Chain A
Amino acid sequence: EAGVAQSPRYKIIEKRQSVAFWCNPISGHATLYWYQQILGQGPKLLIQFQNNGVVDDSQLPKDRFSAERLKGVDSTLKIQPAKLEDSAVYLCASSLTDRGADSPLHFGNGTRLTVT
């Protein structure tokens, strides 16, 4: 079973520029998550999709962050304009479903963003 794929692995941009991250979840996984992990901290949920609908985006800074999941498969996360405090690893995860005890999250290796 192929894992969660993310690209790019690394990105360096200047503040006020825009950036986009891509995620391809495990085949058949209905739920997709974007987490932000700042150095030394645990992952923080930004947005959660069930198929192509949004379940939770309460912690997404909507004035600068946007995300979509077209056709319930791949997803993109965009930041525009970026701020210095957006420097972090952006992790994508997927789960088979989001109900039931046997639906753990499977993570990609993340995109490491540095904003200068």
Chain B
Amino acid sequence: QKEVEQDPGPLSVPEGAIVSLNCTYSNSAFQYFMWYRQYSRKGPELLMYTYSSGNKEDGRFTAQVDKSSKYISLFIRDSQPSDSATYLCAIRQWYSGGYQKVTFGTGTKLQVIP
């Protein structure tokens, strides 16, 4: 079983739709959850991070974590064509020496159609 599972899509939605992107993880020791956005031929860029269960909102984006189900989600409201990208969930765990290890999901490719 992979540490982080993510539906690769692609996901195609009309402009203005609400988008839901999801990941599941296997290790309950994971504490810090991130969403990265990756445009074509670019490196991933951090979108949001959270380390607690519940919701965290930033503009049109909401990150949701359910630690009891080991499930994380990213919601995009009023989706725009500029949101077309691959969205990667990422999870941090700690090495025994206190260093962080960041593991990524496979990414979900999103296309927002004008």
Contacts and interface: CB of A to CB of B under 8 A. Distances in A.
B95 A107 contact: no
Given A41-B107, A42-B107, A101-B32, A107 B99 contact: no
Interface in A41-92: 41-45, 48, 50, 55-56, 91
A105 B51 CA distance: 15
B100 A107 contact: no
Interface residues of B, number: 27
Interface in B30-46: 32, 34, 41-46
Nearest to B47: A104
B53 interface: no
Interface residues of A, number: 29
A43 B100 CA distance: 16
A55 B107 CA distance: 25
Nearest to B39: A109
A80 to B, nearest CB: 25
Contact of B97 (A55, A95, A103, A107): A55
Interface of B: 4, 6, 8, 32, 34, 41-46, 49, 51, 88, 90, 95, 97-107
Smallest CB-CB A-B distances: 10 pairs: A107-B43, A42-B104, A98-B100, A104-B46, A42-B106, A98-B99, A109-B43, A43-B104, A55-B99, A107-B44
Interface of A: 4, 31, 33, 35, 40-45, 48, 50, 55-56, 91, 93, 95, 98-99, 101, 103-110, 112
Given A55-B99, A107-B43, 12 more contacts: A41-B107, A42-B6, A43-B88, A56-B99, A95-B100, A99-B99, A104-B49, A105-B90, A105-B102, A108-B43, A109-B42, A112-B41
